[in-house]
Chains A and B, each alone.
Chain A
Amino acid sequence: MTRRKPIATGSDWNFEALEVYERAIGELAREYRLDTYPNQIEIITSEQMMDAYASVGMPIGYHHWSFGKQFLSVEQAYRRGQMGLAYELVINSDPCIAYLMEENSLMMQVLVIAHACYGHNSFFKGNYLFRTWTDASAIVDYLVFARKYVAKCEERHGVEAVEQLLDACHALQNYGVDRYKRPSPISAEEEVRRQDEREAYLQTQVNRLWSTIPAPASGLVQQPSNDLENDPLGLHRHDRYPSEPQENLLYFLEKNAPLLEPWQREIVRIVRKLAQYFYPQRQTQVMNEGWATFWHYTLMNRLYDDGLIDEGIMLEFLQSHTSVVSQPGFDSPYFNGINPYALGFAMFSDIQRICQAPTDEDREWFPDIAGSDWLETLHFAMHNFKDESFIQQFLSPKVIRDLKLFSLIDDDRDDSLQIEAIHDDRGYRRIREALSVQYALSAREPNIQVWEADIRGDRSLTLHHVQDRRRPLAQSLFPVMRHLHQLWGFPVKLESMEGGEVVRRYQWPIPEPTHESA
């Protein structure tokens, strides 16, 4: 390969050099078939970066105190030097917005362009979860719509009323997603166009459901009553409502909460839609960071091989890269869980190795991909998996050995902790299984669904928590129940179920003791 002259040297950057680097990286990326949205690269100050952090990666957001809290803590950490700001911040939008901080050195800017503008960007465009759940071209418009709508509501109904509503919605935002259904993409234009219509429509829907003289629902299957004594007319002989448990709590509330005003329903919807937008990111942390890190590493090395960056920049890069992918052991004072950059980078690099130089072990474990075209395989992995399934499919014994992974069982019925598996032949599969579960959203978050809204009785709402391996809910459930109660407007109950049995009941508001004994 003919070595060319470095585009720039030293640590100061300028726009001309960045543009040349960006084009060079873009050419290399095309060579590797990285399909991306157009890049919109924005140079910002550190303070603007803190703003961007604070709004959890939304380029524009509605106002809420929690973002202010976020900002203050980012600012505090940054001032104390605990946190290096901004390796990068990139937004899943079309064009893909990436932030570069002006304080970054030339090397950092080039690295971030490779990492964010080609790594993350191609991941956003290619991964099936993002393709299914988000509409990159519409998100910015939708955010603008949301901000304006919330501001309008604040004007009309007061800041405090809106804030309380948003608090309640935020508490439930992880339960604002249909996990198994494909959602309709969000589009701002349509939102605005149809919003008034929807307000009116929604209200009639709710009114029908809650009308004081319920017509015998034709669709509902009549259940043989086992309570003929107390209910001879069969007034309560109806199926549960909803007939199927609902996993999307916010959606259920938006459509069914009896007392919400139309504007309140719209805000519930906004929070729900944004939760949906972030849903894929929560499930692809390891993959997304691993993919971007793999590509910045590959692209930077190519730039160096082609002579476009000099040794100085390369050394600086290697130092930075090494600290990004370092994985302190569990007993290190720096340990803070598994570093998604480290795990993801190790796995993608390992897939490349398995394709290019498979060992006997690899042939046995990965007969399909050992010796195959590495680029093809890497793209396949990026497109079709999320963290959970990616680990299940591709975590190799070598990576387990390199990271010295072990799995530990912590059972509150047991006095001691037990090492279940370590990085040996007997343990590889069990570790892979356990790590995969560790990244499964369904295991990380309690499984809570709407079980019943008592539309003919006291209007209480009952949720079911399907308890898994006896893991109870944290104390934070009480404030969440309070928020839920605010939205629903009537008593809210929560039942923890394990093996079909109710193991624990919660209720809000807490019933008066005299009430219960009566």
Chain B
Amino acid sequence: MSYFIDRRPNARHKSAVNRQRFLQRYRSHIKRAVEESVNRRSITDMERGEKVSIPAKDISEPSFQHGPGGRRTVVSPGNREFAEGDRLRRPGGGGGQGSGDGQAGNQGEGMDEFAFSLSREEFLDFVFDGLELPHLERKQLQVLEETRPVRAGISKEGVPARINIVRSMREAQARRIGMRAPLKRALREAQEALEAEERKDPVLRNPARIDELKSEIVRLEKRIGSIPFLDTYDLRYNHLTHQPMPSNQAVMFCIMDVSGSMTQAHKDIGKRFFLLLYLFLERNYEKVELVFVRHHTVAKEVDEEEFFYSRETGGTIVSSALTLVDSIIEARYSPEQWNLYVAQASDGDNWDDDSSTCLELLDESLMRKLQYFTYVEITPHAHQALWEAYETVRAAYPERFAMQQIVQAEDIYPVFRELFRQRAKG
């Protein structure tokens, strides 16, 4: 007696809970491994999952076992040249290892590390664990520009396209029953009276009364027949209201200095920083748009390829980029509808008298629209006028303006964490 069952449609991921339990339990180990790998690898690789190793000894499940030592006899297959009584040198020089634990020994190799794969989501969870977006306020709309139609019950008025047929028919039926009831009752009474009259002895009948009843019956039947099947006030419509929708979209402006002083290495560091920020935003918003603005003495909106890889020469005027961002916001990304983030990377060079222009621009216009402004300065050297100007901005908007210095690629991740670490509420 046998039967087959096709289990393939059944739920997969039966082990999902156990898997999560494992990840939870070794959270700190995994986090360390993830951080190392983030620093080591190019950030572009973070788009996929990650192989993670943690020390096997930390996750072993202990049990009572025989340790090395003592006297043991081992039977193995595949003898070729041994004869009884032969003596062999102990492999690995003593230690009682022997081929004694052939099994354990062989498996033991390469098992110092327990390696497994994290999915992309799990990996990013660990990367961004404990980070928060500053001022992640869902944009509340003063102007109901972006709304979403929402079903809001039934109404008596509406357009034919939204007729709710079931509800309309129900109303009609109720109305028909209600309107017929008194007429039907009167009809029945009239019929009964007519029958009673007709059953009477012919002598006693009242012909006038019979005629009267008969015409009454005809009149009632006509009235019943004229009750409409569907009337205009039976009609019901699905009612839609327009609900303002909190904006769940963000735009991220990447501003990078491409003047002669920025080397490719600087740009790579900048790129990694931008990528981290992008991944982070992507996890928090349904939709993230990217705008690339590069500048030397003049700013220009470019595509990603050009942004990262084209070379320019010349001086640096940072305010040109800020002005361009401002005008792009003005034209395309209304702050009411978009969460706006700006990430700027530069080596800190700027025309001296431009820095005060930047300060003015930020303070008076940009910072009011932005959720957050991050500035990373990629330089091993001392700060210049731009940094000082930005420090003033930071003092004015401590919650929404962040800046850090990056010297080499390894600094990016710690700096990123520093910029976005969860702040105590209050």
Binding site for B on A (CB under 8 A): 15, 18-19, 22-23, 26, 38-45, 47-48, 50-51, 54-55, 63-73, 75-76, 79, 102, 117, 159, 163, 167, 170-175, 327-332, 335-338, 403-413, 415-424, 426-427, 431, 434-435, 437-438, 445-446, 448, 465, 467-480, 483
Contacts and interface: CB of A to CB of B under 8 A. Distances in A.
Contacts of B94: 415
B22 interface: yes
Contact of B79 (A65, A405, A470): A405
B87 interface: yes
Interface string B92-112: 001010111011001100000
Contact of A418 (B20, B64, B85, B107): B85
Given A65-B21, A410-B74, A419-B83, A448 B64 contact: yes
Contact of B78 (A22, A64, A329, A471): A329
B89 interface: yes
Contacts of B65: 445-446, 473-474, 476-477
Nearest to A67: B18
Nearest to A22: B2
A434 B73 contact: yes
Contacts of A416: 87-90
Contacts, number: 280
Contact of B22 (A68, A328, A329): A68
Given A39-B1, A41-B3, 8 more contacts: A65-B21, A66-B22, A72-B116, A76-B115, A174-B63, A327-B77, A332-B78, A422-B84
B82 A175 contact: no
B6 to A, nearest CB: 5
Given A408-B74, A409-B73, A471-B67, A423 B18 contact: no
Nearest to B89: A416
Given A43-B7, A329-B78, A480 B18 contact: no
B84 to A, nearest CB: 6
A18 B4 contact: yes
Contacts of B87: 416-419
30 contacts: A15-B4, A41-B4, A42-B4, A42-B6, A48-B7, A51-B13, A65-B18, A65-B24, A68-B20, A71-B22, A75-B117, A76-B115, A171-B63, A330-B102, A336-B103, A338-B76, A403-B78, A408-B74, A409-B73, A410-B100, A417-B89, A417-B99, A419-B84, A420-B84, A446-B65, A469-B72, A470-B69, A472-B68, A474-B66, A478-B62
A353 B75 CA distance: 24
A403 B78 CA distance: 6
A409 B74 CA distance: 7
Given A446-B65, A448-B64, A67 B7 contact: no
B23 interface: yes
The interface centre, meaning the residue of B5, B10, B76 with most chain A CB atoms within 10 A of its CB, is B76
Nearest to B76: A330
Given A75-B116, A174-B63, A438 B12 contact: no
Contact of A473 (B5, B13, B20, B67): B67
A469 B71 CA distance: 5
B106 A336 contact: yes
Contacts of B233: none
B7 A44 contact: yes
Contacts of A328: 77-78
B1 to A, nearest CB: 4
Contacts of A172: 63
Contacts of A338: 75-77
Nearest to B65: A474
B10 A437 contact: no
A330 B106 CA distance: 11
B311 interface: no
Interface residues of B, number: 66
Contacts of A75: 116-117
Nearest to B1: A38
B61 interface: yes
A39 B23 CA distance: 37
Contacts of B19: 68, 71-72
A60 B236 CA distance: 52
Contacts of B77: 327-330, 338, 403-405
A68 B19 CA distance: 4
A431 B22 contact: no
Contacts of B423: none
A45 B4 contact: no
Contacts of A435: 75
A426 B83 CA distance: 11
Nearest to B102: A337
Contacts of B229: none
B44 interface: no
A206 B263 CA distance: 76
B115 to A, nearest CB: 6
Q: Lowest 9 CB-CB distances: which A-B pairs, in order? A: A329-B78, A68-B22, A471-B70, A68-B18, A474-B67, A470-B70, A410-B98, A72-B116, A39-B2
A234 to B, nearest CB: 37
A350 B71 CA distance: 32
A437 B80 contact: no
Given A407-B75, A473-B67, A418 B86 contact: yes
B66 A473 contact: yes
Contacts of B10: 44, 48
A410 B64 contact: no
